[in-house]
Amino acid sequence: MTLALSSPFSFLRRAGVALVSASLLTWAPAAFAATDLQLPGKGVRVQPLKSSIAEETFQTLLVMKALEKLGYEVQPIREVEYPTAHLAIANGDATFMADHWDPMHNDFYKNSGGDAKLWRDNTYVADNIQGYLVDKKTADEHKITNMSQLADRAIAKLFDTDGDGRANLTGCPPGWGCETMIETHLSAYKLRDTVQHQQGSYSALMADVIARYKSGQPVLYYTWTPYWVSNVLVPGKDVVWLQVPFSALPGEQAGQDTTLPNGRNYGSVINNQRILASRAFIEAHPDAAKLFSLMRLPVADVTAQNNAMNDGQNSSADLERHTEGWIKAHQSLFDDWLAQARAAANR
């Protein structure tokens, strides 16, 4: 089924009508009447996982609410980083996560047992890009278009924030997967002597980047879409994407061409976020398999919700309201997912 997209902000506007009275992440079987045929997951406990990225909560909640409608006893989200999440799901200690990046997380997938223990045969959020950006003012003034130019000490020094003469690149925390790509690039493009990869709390580091940009200082950082950063520092207006001199990726991604269809090369292939699930769970519950294979969430809607969080709508009640609002705005689509899932269970 083709997903009919509304304005990316429309579901948030509708969600603002009222708060949902039920507490976040609580399963309430009395909230709707249904037969056992409508509840193929009745009595089955499901454990969702997500990383420390708060903006992944919305995607996760949407899957949880669909599973609840099928009767599953969905537990509160547990927060672990991606490598641990893959292993936990593979070992049966958790059921699913809604933010497996393919191919960026391929090493985590392989090292956790691959297809024998895990399932990811779906596309939940498609066409995610990632890469490096600098402020447009500095890029235009010094004609900076490519990461390889940071090998020039004079260019690198423009982005030095700690006085050591090297560019300070705001990058990825350990365990996210993107940090290995950045480290691979620093070696492949011979930038070790001129660029320092700053790691830590990404949100805190980006807050510093945004503050420096607003004060007129040069900035250099890594980010991805969908995420709120590119609505604060808008590519093409405030900042520009840097290309890379050639493709270079780590691990299971090695050898892939990162050139995009438009001919540009930002150093990463287009990723799809997939729902990652336990293979044993999927094989035992064809309704969940069907549900996961059907669910689609537009990048624009994820970005809109993430922007709302960045603007202060980040409480548990806000996230609940955003999720319920998206469902209400796409009710017929959501109901069709459930109908097809129930049909798969009852074949």
Which of these, 125, 310, 291, 308, lies nearest to 206 by C-alpha position? 310
In degrees rounded to 5, what are phi and psi of residue 60?
Answer: -70, -45
Tens digit of each residue's pLDDT (9 = 90 or more) over 21-53: 333 333 334 444 445 779 999 999 999 999 999
Q: Please give the pLDDT value at position 35.
A: 56
Give the start-end residues of each E strand in 141-255: 167-170, 195-198, 220-224, 239-242
What are the boundaries of each domain within the chain? 10-17+24-125+272-345, 130-253
CB 338 within 8 A of CB 76: no
Tens digit of each residue's pLDDT (9 = 90 or more) over 219-246: 999 999 999 999 999 999 999 999 999 9
Q: What would the CATH number be for the domain defined by 10-17+24-125+272-345?
A: 3.40.190.10
CB-based burial label for 10 (10 Å; 0-12, 13-18, 19+): middle
Cα dihedral 201, 252, 168, 187 sign: positive
Out of 3.40.50.720, 3.40.190.100, 3.30.1780.10, 3.40.50.620, select the CATH number for domain 130-253. Answer: 3.40.190.100
Give the start-end residues of each E strand in 70-129: 73-74, 78-79, 96-102, 118-119, 125-128
- With both helix axes pointing from N to C terminus, report the angle between 57-69 and 316-329 in degrees, rounded to the nearest 10: 60
Of 9-13, 14-18, 89-93, 148-152, the least confident: 14-18
195-198 vs 167-170, strand pairing mode? parallel
How far apart, in whole angstroms, are the C-alpha atoms of residue 249 and residue 258?
Answer: 9
The yes-or-no answer to whether 10-17+24-125+272-345 and 130-253 have a common fold is yes
Per-residue tokens: 163: 């006085």
